[in-house]
Amino acid sequence: MTAGREPAENLAAATKLIRQAKAEGADLIVTPECTNMMEPRRALLFEKLVAEEADASLAGFSALAAELGVWLLIGSVAVRIAPGQAANRSILFDPRGQVAARYDKIHMFDVEIPDGQSYRESKAYRPGERAVLADLPWGRLGMTVCYDMRFAHLYRALAQAGASFLSIPAAFTRFTGQAHWHILLRARAIETGCFVFAPAQCGTHAEGRETYGHSLIVAPWGEVLADGGEEPGIVLAEIDTARVEKARAMVPALCNGRPFETPSAASGA
């Protein structure tokens, strides 16, 4: 997607793509981070924010999942959780339109980018405090969002808790995406022996923010099965769940880890 500032417009754009994905055979459909809006101004963001139960976009996605009979993971939406505070929340709907799982993004994107952009996600959002797994008909899904991908220990924990699939919806900056997007996603797949589903925002958004795009589906051995490029649209792949155990049998890194002492700064060489 190239999400804009207005939730109703983003709902319409996402709905069109979700219907297209279903028509082309998708059973599990995943949208990017910030599906309901990309509003860079904090004051305007909080004018539009509502609680999860009052969010018209989520009501629309719930009805759509039930209508189409699909598992629908809305990569993330901004929802109000307290006065002056929001959550960046990923929500999974089952084929009845019921919420099967929700995950609040743990790692906040508080970064100065060398291209001159500054991001302070923690000024508006409260970080989540727990990892989340969801059971799908085909296996277990570990739910994460965007900046989480730089924290490999989270994905190892999800895989060791039974995840065969990892969702990493994102609104990755163009500058960092060009350098790290493909590498990090392939690394998370290889380290865990999981499939990675990473739908991404693309293009130019409000106030000139640029996102990298390249929605990816990555196999457990690290092969990129689909790459969405830099335009809005859908990517599809057929997922053979047997590849998870095959990859883990070839390199059983999840089983071979060992405890170790962490050196202190004063310990020297």
Name the active-site residue from 22, 33, 34, 194.
33
Q: How far apart are CA 243 and CA 224, in angstroms?
A: 14
Assigned token pair, 32: 């990017």
d(C-alpha 155, C-alpha 260), whole Å: 19
Of 181, 180, 40, 185, nearest to 119 by C-alpha is 40
Q: Alpha-carbon distance 55 to 78, whole Å?
A: 10
Question: Does 34 participate in catalysis according to the annotation?
Answer: no
* Structural contact between residues 34 and 49, judged by C-beta atoms closer than 8 angstroms: no
| Residues in contact with 132: Cβ distance below 8 Å, sequence separation at least 6, in sequence order | 101, 102, 103, 142, 143
- For 233: left if phi > 0, alpha if psi spans -120 to 50, otherwise beta; the answer is left
Active-site residue (options: 22, 34, 39, 105): 105
Annotation says 24 is catalytic: no
Q: Given 34, 39, 146, 194, which residue is catalytic?
A: 146
CA pair distance 228, 200, nearest whole angstrom: 9
β-bridge pairing 28-30 and 71-82: parallel
Q: How far is CA 93 from the centre of its chain?
A: 15
Known catalytic residues are 33, 105, 146
